Amino acid sequence: MYRETDIIQTIPGTDEMVINVGPQHPSTHGVLHLVLTINGEIVKKVEPHIGYIHRSIEKMCESLTYRQFIYSTSRMDYLAAHTNNHACAMCVEQGMGIEVPLRAQYIRVLMDELTRIASHCLWWGSIAMDCGAVTPFFLAFREREMINSIMEETCGARLTMNYNVPGGVMADIHPTFQQSVKDFVRHFRSKIDEYDELVTGNIIFQSRLKGVGKLSKEDAISYGCTGPTARASGVSCDVRKHFPYEIYNQIDFTEITHTAGDSYARYLMRLAEMRESMSIIEQLIDNIPEGDYLAKTKAVLKLPKGEFYSRVETPRGELGVYIVSEGGTTPYRIKFRSPGFSNLSALDHMTRGHKIGDLVAIMGTLDLVIPDIDR
């Protein structure tokens, strides 16, 4: 007989057994609890259990006003707090019919792309760590630190920025912002080639990722995957391209897709996205128009009765914010469609038949942030 509390349970009559990975496990990048059914080293089934970091942010938002609820979404996807805040601010603006000044739009897009690079930097360090290399983690954090300093300088916080407010951004950019962003891009252009030399070409790393965790185009669509995870399988799903918000329709950038759909394609995907983000930043940084950074809004925001939806492309995929308003100062219901949740649901399909070590690598290429999955 086996008990629920046993760490390892054997299934009578078969060679299979059930083990728990997490919730406190260093390779799950947070408090994700995976229940694995394994036969020796081979993974037969993966059941993600979530709920260990549930803070009921959606319910909490129902008691906060339309200005206040934006700050709490920084705590969902904490590596890309700016894009979360952006989606919420855009949804409120859409409901109120607020016109965002052009300068604020430029600043928002610049910050989004900086956030994307910072998030992918951390991901690059952690995927290498998941595959057994420790050095890349320190190199990635060196570059991420520069972005954090830029954020600290302009937004006033390093991680939970809360820089977007309905109508624009909270404060104008710091006088040294443009120079420090240019310095960063110049620095990062040379360092990203170093990333390729150190990890991308590495034979051990390649054999860990190539042909592992395949996700076909059809499966990526049916599991609702978005972001780099889906684009590596050949699904063209970039919100910035298909449903342009702010000034993305005026920017010249390409949506990168791969067709292989394996872990290595997802890896190359994100590295290419970092380069693409840099080119977006270079296009915008010298052309920030003069003007207001914040539109004039009423002191108390009241959304008209109805339903509002806005979406942005976060580093992990499509984040949707759905607000149901009854006409009051607080939302009646808020729903977040977070990218990590759908991407995680494909994990079982991708991992079946692979080894336990590959599970960690596949999970690394999905770029999971658990508080984003489990709000």
CB of 330 to another protein, least distance (A): 11
Q: Provide, rounded to whole angstroms, the least separation between the CB of residue 79 and another protein.
A: 17
As measured in angstroms, the least distance from the Cβ of 115 to another protein is: 17
Tokens matching residue 346: 């494909």
Cα–Cα distance between 318 and 173 in angstroms, integer? Answer: 27
How many binding residues for another protein (CB under 8 A)?
31
Helices (runs of H) and strands (runs of E) counted in the chain: 15, 9
> Cβ 170 to another protein, closest distance in Å?
6
Asked if 69 is part of the footprint of another protein (rule: CB under 8 A), the reply reads: yes
Q: Using CB under 8 A, which of 185, 199, 209, 269 touches another protein?
A: 199
Could you tell me the smallest distance in angstroms from the CB atom of residue 168 to another protein?
A: 12
Q: Does 159 bind another protein (CB under 8 A)?
A: no
Torsion over CA: 268, 122, 224, 254 (sign): negative
Q: In the window 86-145, what residues touch another protein (CB under 8 A)?
A: 135, 142, 145
**Cα distances (angstroms) measured from residue 346 to each of 158, 210, 246:** 32, 18, 31
> What does the chain come to in residues?
375
Are residues 152 and 125 in contact, defined by beta-carbon separation less than 8 angstroms?
Answer: no
Rule CB under 8 A: say whether 72 interacts with another protein. yes
**Burial of residue 252 (number of CB atoms within 10 Å: 0-12, 13-18, 19+):** exposed
Shortest distance (Å) from residue 32 CB to another protein: 25
Choices 109-117, 118-126, 150-158, 225-233; region in contact with another protein by CB under 8 A: 150-158
Q: Which is nearer to another protein, 79 or 140 (CB)?
A: 140
Q: Is 153 in the site for another protein (CB under 8 A)?
A: yes
13 binds another protein (CB under 8 A): no
> Which region among 22-30, 46-54, 68-76, 313-321 touches another protein (by CB under 8 A)?
68-76
Q: Using alpha carbons, list the distances in angstroms from residue 341 to 145, 236, 280, 366, 367.
A: 28, 19, 28, 11, 11
Report whether 234 contacts 217 (CB < 8 A). Answer: yes
- Residues 274, 281 contacting (CB under 8 angstroms): no
Pick the stretch among 20-28, 95-103, 170-178, 181-189 that binds another protein (CB under 8 A).
170-178
Contacts of 182 (CB under 8 A, 6+ apart): 285
Q: Which of 198, 260, 272, 324 binds another protein (CB under 8 A)?
A: 198
Min dist CB 223 to another protein, Å, is 33
**Residue 170 binding another protein, by CB under 8 A:** yes
Q: Does 71 bind another protein (CB under 8 A)?
A: yes
254 binds another protein (CB under 8 A): no
- How far are the Cα atoms of 34, 108, 160, 167 from residue 80, in angstroms, in the given order? 24, 13, 9, 20
**d(Cα 345, Cα 347) in Å, to the nearest integer?**
5
Tracing tokens 């910050």 back to the chain, one arrives at 111
CA distance 256 to 218: 18
Q: Are strands 33-39 and 306-314 parallel, antiparallel or unpaired?
A: unpaired
174 binds another protein (CB under 8 A): yes
Q: Which is nearer to another protein, 7 or 203 (CB)?
A: 203
Which region among 39-47, 67-75, 320-328, 341-349 touches another protein (by CB under 8 A)? 67-75
> Residue 57 or residue 220: which is nearer to another protein going by CB?
57
If one asks whether residue 245 binds another protein (CB under 8 A), the answer comes out as no
Residues that bind another protein in the complex, under the rule CB under 8 A: 64, 67-69, 71-72, 135, 142, 145, 149, 152-157, 160, 162, 165, 170-171, 174, 194, 197-199, 201-204, 206
